[in-house]
Chains A and B, each alone.
Chain A
Amino acid sequence: MKLARRTPPIVAPAHADAARTLAFLADLSQAFAVSLDLRKTLSEAVNRIAAFMQAEAASLFLLDPVTRVLECRICVGPVDLTGVRLAIGQGVVGLAVAENATQVVADAASDPRVWRAGDEGSGFVTRSLLCAPLSTAVGPIGALEVVNRRDGTAFSAEDAEMLRLIAAPTALAINNARMANDLLEQQRMKREFDLARRLQKSLLPKRRRDGFPIVGVNLPAHEISGDFYDYFELADGRIGFVVGDISGKGLDAALLMVRAASLLRWAGKDGVAPGAWLARANDELCETMHDGRFVCALVGYCDRAGNKVQFAGAGFPPVLVYRRSAFDEYESGGPPLGIMAGIPFDQHEVELNGGALYAFSDGATDVRDASGQRLGSEGVRALIARHATAAPDTRVRALLSDLKRLKLVDDTTLLLIEEPRAHDAQVLLEHHLPARAENLRDMRNALRATLDHLGIEPALRDRLVLAVDEACANIIRHAYGAQGHGGIGLRLSRTDDVLSFELTDDAPCVDPGAIRPKPLGECRAGGLGVALIDTVMDAWHVEPGTGRSGNRLVLRKRIEDKGFT
């Protein structure tokens, strides 16, 4: 018998002195601390633990965090248990984990806790055993077991305490290694997400500036967007456009988005009517999608002049047309794509006549304001009206900036269609000042003179100067802060009857959400500047500068005829 040969000739008392225990614990902790290969170190450690505890066998079980099954990973002794699986609560090992408490079995033969299958057919007889859980802050991650004292006596309470002490650095080492692995996994996933995001961005069409009637923007709420937009030119001169919103979030929504985007583009390439275009894409998607996902979409065409627009929606929020201070709303023409095949989609045909068409993906009306209320269609209308005077590029950015400020809760995509106009901005003043308070006075003088020259009546002039001064003061105090050195560029331009005051700086990017006015009339110092800007100007927004740092703050004011003297 194997066992008879292995019995050591001399057996020291198991309850060794404290110094010996401490020395062993220190050695063990040290071995874990310097370990580069935890598996190898653990295997050596279990051998040393068996020797230190004067046990015939020792084993280490780890709990699979997903399946919640305990598996023997390391085993020393005459019987190889490696790979043996136990449920939580099963056997002494399972009990140690279930109760998160050390188990002492003095007489295995009569103890109901003992799982005996391990002994069967091996010739090994379990007489006495000890098992300590590997405890961590989030519960046990496994257990450490020693079997049979070599001197034939039963394990004592002191032995149990010793094993409990040994289990602590072992659990710590395993936990640390797992966390390091998790970190690596997270980094790997982040790289994959970055790739997916870049792939998605590459699918969005390039911005067109040459009198093109469509501007699109997409602001993903998470790392990966489920939204997309696209536009393309047909041979007959019309421009086809698509806005889509995939149900769900994350990587699989993103992958579906890639497929839906190419499918929708393909389905509209030959200039088929928007209703038929959606029906075609719907049938195709229904054939392949069965996992409960769906796609909301808006497709259509507009002429080069940005006047005649034909479109159809599938589960898409109403399209808004803003024309001469009034809104028209156009409902979706059918349910989302990918749910039921063979259904028709209604389409609309509108003439913008100088107005603008806004297609927001679902995200826009989902945006919450500071009190947690959904912005809704009314809120979106108010934002559109507020920024209506801005040139298209500036307008979509301003709308997005506002939505961001209002705490975005979903992807947001916006497609704007309007007649391309030569929005010739006439630059009236360019002034640069070092970002220090003593330079504000010169800026005010320059601005005052320009506004006088323009014929702005004095009361309005003073308010505009005040608002710009407050904006500069905020840049000096908050954007640059105490240690900041840099400049502020002020550019005043006029487009039709709208004055734009553009302030650029090189300060670290500010969070637009952090800029909040306090209610006027409230008697306390601070926060007043933003409130004054709000009151004086029609609209303002902050966006990141074009460089690596810096901000661009744009304040706008429409000057009525009576504003000019």
Chain B
Amino acid sequence: MSGIECEERDGIVLIRLRGEVDLSWSQQVRHAVLEALEKNPAVGVELSEVSYIDSSGIAALVEGFQSARSRGSRFALVAVSDAVRAVLELARLDRVFLIVADPAAVAGV
């Protein structure tokens, strides 16, 4: 099942995405990411359970990255699945995002 969960731990907001991120709900991902960044100085998007992501999903992450940069906040992709990594590489964005293995690392960004 696809879905979004948010949790706050040690001052970090972690947005956990699951399933196939595509055009049908990537807008929700975008809102969740931008909203979290409005209220929190450190946001991570956990992607270990994401089996598919399309360009609209990637675009939501790009917007998060840009928003964080302009605010001086911390933003990272956490535990990126192979499926997501393949698309990031294809789009040559794998070196743009900060990608960390553990949620705790977001705080150290």
Contacts and interface: CB of A to CB of B under 8 A. Distances in A.
Given A523-B66, A524-B62, A473 B92 contact: no
Interface residues of A, number: 28
Interface in A413-448: 436-438, 440-441, 444
A535 B87 CA distance: 11
Given A463-B86, A476-B23, A523 B93 contact: yes
A438 B93 contact: no
A521 B63 contact: no
B17 interface: no
B65 interface: yes
Contact of A520 (B20, B22, B65, B91): B91
A536 interface: yes
B104 interface: no
A424 B109 CA distance: 57
Interface string A508-544: 0000000000001101111011011001100000000
Interface in A431-481: 436-438, 440-441, 444, 459, 462-463, 465-466, 469-470, 473, 476-477
A525 B93 contact: no
Given A523-B96, A526-B59, A535 B54 contact: no
B93 A462 contact: no
A427 to B, nearest CB: 25
A482 to B, nearest CB: 13
Nearest to B30: A525
Nearest to B69: A523
Contacts of A463: 86, 90
A528 B23 contact: no
B24 A438 contact: yes
Contacts of A520: 90-92
A470 B55 contact: yes
A521 to B, nearest CB: 3
A254 to B, nearest CB: 46
Interface string B65-109: 110000000000000000100110011110010000000000000
Residue of A459, A473, A477 with highest tally of chain B CB at under 10 A: A473
A473 B56 contact: yes
Contact of A521 (B55, B56, B92): B92
A407 to B, nearest CB: 26
Interface in B10-24: 20, 22-24
A463 B23 CA distance: 17
Interface string B50-61: 001011101110
Contacts of A535: 90
B54 A470 contact: yes
Contacts of A438: 24
B5 to A, nearest CB: 20
Nearest to B19: A441
B24 A466 contact: no
Contacts of A465: 52
B20 to A, nearest CB: 6
Contacts of B54: 466, 469-470, 473, 529
Contacts of B83: 462
Given A437-B22, A473-B23, A532-B55, A521 B90 contact: no
Contact of A440 (B24, B59, B63): B24
Contacts of B25: 437
Interface of B: 20, 22-25, 52, 54-56, 58-60, 62-63, 65-66, 83, 86-87, 90-93, 96
11 contacts: A437-B24, A438-B24, A440-B22, A440-B24, A441-B20, A444-B52, A463-B90, A521-B92, A521-B93, A523-B65, A528-B91
Interface of A: 436-438, 440-441, 444, 459, 462-463, 465-466, 469-470, 473, 476-477, 520-521, 523-526, 528-529, 531-532, 535-536
Given A440-B24, A465-B52, 7 more contacts: A437-B22, A444-B20, A466-B52, A525-B59, A528-B58, A529-B55, A531-B91
Q: A-B pairs with the 3 shortest C-beta distances?
A: A521-B92, A525-B59, A437-B24
